[in-house]
């Protein structure tokens, strides 16, 4: 790893100095922390991180390298990466190159050797905030001033930066160890193949694999696709994907989803869940530092069961604003925020967390089968 100095400057004046890895570059955005112990490659390529810098709480990063199978999208969307200890010599049999080489290829700067515990405590106390990570400009005072001019995520439509340019079919199924993704649905033969239109607000590939795995034919469409065009494809159901930023700022999304409600079963995840709440007449709000990690406890209010979930979001649905139009089905046990919604008497539901999590946890995979059951009964 290079010994070149790198600087992380926060808008509130906090400064962290460390060693650069990845690209010799500069990146700005909202700084958040992720508590996952594994899966840094999936984190880097999750489109929901568009516009953000990510700090990992796990102290050792890079030890398993990077490979071409574990990406969740066409490229990395994290702007910059912050770690305690960076390992430049991967030891996994699946590694194809080092994390630093991968980041350099995509122009992503990283900083290592800082006290990430102190950084996380700072973000928990003061909230996620705008920051600049630089291995080019090392003037801390100047970087702090510039960080204060970095635009907030509030009010920005970042979905337009990550959605697909045109519709496409997805046929790859779930992972079969050790070879990799399979091409055929995992459900038993004889079950009706269901047609799903998936709105791409920043969709992760493992969501698509899970849909194929429960027997669906999947067509992915851009986020701006009118409801009438989606319904013209004669889907058995519509899926609303994850994605970045402020749900209230996604142009046309709530109107599109509103036009879909009542026509076909609808299932939303993460940003799709938030947009569904807006389409139902609800509101969303920004969390202090968001939920980012693979260890968030969520309770199913119908069964009392607690699931350990993977999450990545900085906004949440307001429970009071959807009262009378939808019911809260799941809550976060850390802060009691809404983690699931359903429309009584209609095949419409959503969750804030990620049941498709790759590498995990997998407690909530059953939700994809629930979607299939709703489509089969519709």
Structural domains of the chain, ranges and CATH numbers in brackets: 5-147 (3.50.30.20), 159-377 (3.40.50.880)
d(CA 244, CA 221): 17
d(CA 314, CA 106): 25
Please state, rounded to an integer, the average pLDDT across all residues of the chain: 95
Note the pLDDT of residue 306.
98
Mean pLDDT of 296-304: 97
Whether 1 shows a pLDDT value over 70: the answer reads no
d(CA 231, CA 244): 25
CA distances (Å), origin 134, targets 2, 141, 147: 14, 13, 11
Tell me the backbone φ, ψ of residue 304, rounded to 5 degrees.
Answer: 80, -5
pTM for the full predicted model = 0.96
Tell me the backbone φ, ψ of residue 99, rounded to 5 degrees.
Answer: -60, -45
Whether 189 shows a pLDDT value over 70: the answer reads no
Note the pLDDT of residue 321.
97
Whether 188 shows a pLDDT value over 60: the answer reads no
d(CA 325, CA 318): 13
Distance between the two ends of the chain, CA-based, in angstroms?
Answer: 56
Which residues make beta-bridge pairs with 313?
291
pLDDT band at residue 192 under the 50/70/90 scheme:
confident
Q: In the structure encoding, which two tokens stand for residue 201, read together? A: 């607000």
Note the pLDDT of residue 287.
98
Whether 163 shows a pLDDT value over 70: the answer reads yes
Residue 320, C-beta contacts closer than 8 angstroms, at least 6 positions apart: none
Is the bond preceding 361 in cis, omega lying within 30 degrees of 0?
Answer: yes
Q: In the structure encoding, which two tokens stand for residue 279, read together? A: 């389409």
Whether 186 shows a pLDDT value over 60: the answer reads no
Share of the chain above pLDDT 70, in %: 96
d(CA 209, CA 215): 10
Is the bond preceding 168 in cis, omega lying within 30 degrees of 0?
Answer: no
Active site residues: 270, 354, 356
pLDDT band at residue 176 under the 50/70/90 scheme:
confident
Residue 321, C-beta contacts closer than 8 angstroms, at least 6 positions apart: 277, 281, 282, 283
Note the pLDDT of residue 181.
66
- Compute the residue count for the chain: 378
Q: Which of 90, 161, 119 is nearest to 12 (CA)?
A: 119
pLDDT band at residue 182 under the 50/70/90 scheme:
low
pLDDT band at residue 3 under the 50/70/90 scheme:
low
């Amino acid at each position: 790893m290079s010994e070149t100095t790198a600087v992380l400057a926060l808008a509130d004046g906090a400064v962290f100095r460390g060693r650069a890895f990845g690209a010799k570059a500069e990146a700005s955005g909202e700084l958040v922390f992720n508590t996952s112990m594994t899966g840094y490659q999936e984190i880097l390529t999750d489109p929901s991180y568009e516009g953000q810098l990510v700090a990992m709480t796990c102290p050792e990063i890079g030890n398993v390298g990077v490979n071409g199978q574990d990406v969740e999208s066409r490229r990395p969307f994290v702007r910059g990466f912050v770690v305690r200890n960076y390992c430049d010599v991967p030891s996994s049999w699946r590694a194809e190159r080092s994390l630093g080489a991968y980041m350099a290829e995509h122009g992503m700067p990283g900083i290592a050797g800082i006290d990430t515990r102190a950084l996380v405590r700072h973000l928990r106390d003061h909230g996620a905030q705008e920051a600049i990570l630089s291995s080019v400009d090392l003037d801390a005072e100047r970087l702090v001033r510039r960080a204060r001019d970095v635009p907030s995520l509030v009010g920005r439509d970042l979905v337009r930066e990550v959605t697909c340019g045109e519709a496409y079919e997805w046929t790859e199924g779930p992972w079969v160890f050790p070879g990799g993704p399979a091409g055929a649905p995992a459900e038993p033969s004889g079950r009706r193949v269901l047609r799903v239109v998936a709105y791409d607000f920043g969709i992760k590939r493992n969501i698509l694999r899970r849909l194929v795995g429960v027997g669906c034919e999947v067509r992915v469409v851009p986020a701006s696709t009118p409801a009438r065009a989606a319904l013209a494809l004669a889907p058995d159901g519509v899926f609303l994907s994850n994605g970045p930023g402020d749900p209230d700022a996604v142009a046309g999304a709530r109107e599109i989803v509103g036009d879909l409600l009542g026509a076909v079963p609808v299932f939303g995840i993460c940003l799709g869940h938030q947009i569904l709440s807006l389409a139902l007449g609800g509101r969303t709000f920004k969390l202090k530092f968001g939920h980012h990690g693979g260890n968030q406890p969520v309770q199913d209010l119908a069964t009392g069961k607690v699931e350990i979930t993977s999450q990545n979001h900085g906004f949440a649905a307001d429970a009071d604003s959807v009262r009378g139009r939808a019911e809260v089905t799941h809550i976060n046990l850390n802060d009691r925020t809404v983690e699931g919604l359903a429309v009584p008497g209609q095949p419409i539901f959503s969750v804030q967390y990620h049941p498709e999590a790759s590498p995990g946890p997998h407690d909530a995979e059953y939700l994809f089968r629930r979607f299939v059951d709703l489509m089969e009964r519709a």
